[in-house]
Amino acid sequence: MFFDWYRILGWMGNGLYTSLVIFILNIMIFYNQAFRAEGQTADMAAMGATMFSCIICAVNCQIALTMSHFTWIQHLFVWGSVATWYLFLLLFGMLPPYYSEDAHKILVEALGPAPIYWCTILLVTVACILPYLAHISFQRCFNPMDHHIIQEIKYYKKDVKDQHMWRRERSKARQETKIGFTARVDAKIRQLKGKLQKKSSTLILPNRMPSPC
Amino acid sequence: MRAACLVDLFLFVSLNGFFCFQICYFFYKNIAFGLTLFYFEAFTAFSGQSVYNDWYMLLFNVILTSLPVISLGVFEQDVSSEVCLQVCPINHLAIFMQLSPFTSYLSAMIIMLFLHSAVPSIVSARA
């Protein structure tokens, strides 16, 4: 149901797109443009930290976008991760330069006061999550899955008002499930084995089970 | 009593859409992170210079992106469990029982792991 190769490849493609967007936009923005108010350009440490901030923000916004059921723990972890990154950058920058090397006071003195840093993060994050946002919006509007429909029904309280519709949705759940190629092959092998041992009558496939509801 | 617990367990497992999304997301975040590193290497003509500080790379999977995906795995549900019980749990049960090929995925992964670690070491030892 949720485990197919299209999905995995889709996410991998999404990762490829995200990495391309993050790298190309960052390189283009920091290539020869002034970074500080006095007109100095960014060095590699500043660009690296900006790129990493973009990755953290994009990846965490992406997972926030996929969640349909929020609890406060999820909020804490998702936005806490972004906060942890900035906290780390702040504390790491406070260490003496012997330990922090090129990241010494990077947030306080280099990145923080530069508006281009914050603008870049915003731009890159939005650019990264746009395709997935378009995908889920399109799917929900034009090609909804069963759980989307049930969510909408519950959200608009249709199950109370429109009994007919609700009954139809419930009966749909009794239809046969279609999942993965390997599972079907396995089922076929089991079936053949059963026939071989002439015990085919005892073989019950899980999806043919009578439903209790 | 025990049967009721079993139903809850199946609901918990099936509602979470399984491990699939977590795996996809894991691929996603590491591709997004690792490829930028690779692009920068290509950009600097493979000089071996790293654009990120070592500590950033170290903390990426350990602290900065691990907790949200765990919380998603534990708490995410497409529909609440009462609704799922109303809309018939047996299909989820069927999915759960048919997903046993996970072991085959797992064994394939482990074989690949040994293969991929063995090939470079053997080749470099011979060369």
Which of A153, A205, A7, A168 is CA-nearest to residue B93?
A205
Q: Which of A74, A101, A179 sits opposite B95 (nearest CB)?
A: A179
**Helices of type H across chain B:** 2-15, 20-43, 54-59, 66-75, 81-86, 90-98, 102-126
CA–CA separation, A90 vs A177, rounded Å? 52
- How distant is the Cα of A37 from the closest Cα of chain B, in angstroms? 24
What is the length of chain A?
213
Could you report the per-residue pLDDT of B56-95, keeping only the tens digit for each? 888 888 888 888 888 887 777 666 666 666 665 545 555 5
- Tell me the domain boundaries of chain A: 5-145, 154-203
- How distant is the Cα of A68 from the closest Cα of chain B, in angstroms? 6
Supply the DSSP string of A128-187, one letter for each residue: HHHHHHHHHHHHHHHS--HHHHHHHHHHTTHHHH-HHHHHHHHHHTTSPP---HHHHHHH
CA–CA separation, A79 vs A112, rounded Å? 19
Could you report the per-residue pLDDT of B5-61, keeping only the tens digit for each? 555 555 555 555 555 778 888 889 999 999 999 999 999 988 988 888 888 888 888
CB contact under 8 A, B21 and A170: no
Which of B87, B70, B8 is CA-nearest to residue A73?
B70
pLDDT bin (cut points 50, 70, 90) of residue B1 is very low
pLDDT mean by block of 10 residues, chain A; 213 residues: 73 93 92 83 88 93 86 89 93 87 83 89 94 91 78 74 72 57 71 69 51 48
Residue of B nearest to A106 (CA): B53
- How distant is the Cα of B13 from the closest Cα of chain A, in angstroms? 13
Which of A21, A37, A18 is CA-nearest to residue A29?
A21
ipTM of model: 0.71
Q: Which of B23, B51, B71 sits opposite A77 (nearest CB)?
A: B71
Q: Which of B64, B77, B98 sits opposite A84 (nearest CB)?
A: B64
Q: Are A107 and A121 within 8 A, CB to CB?
A: no
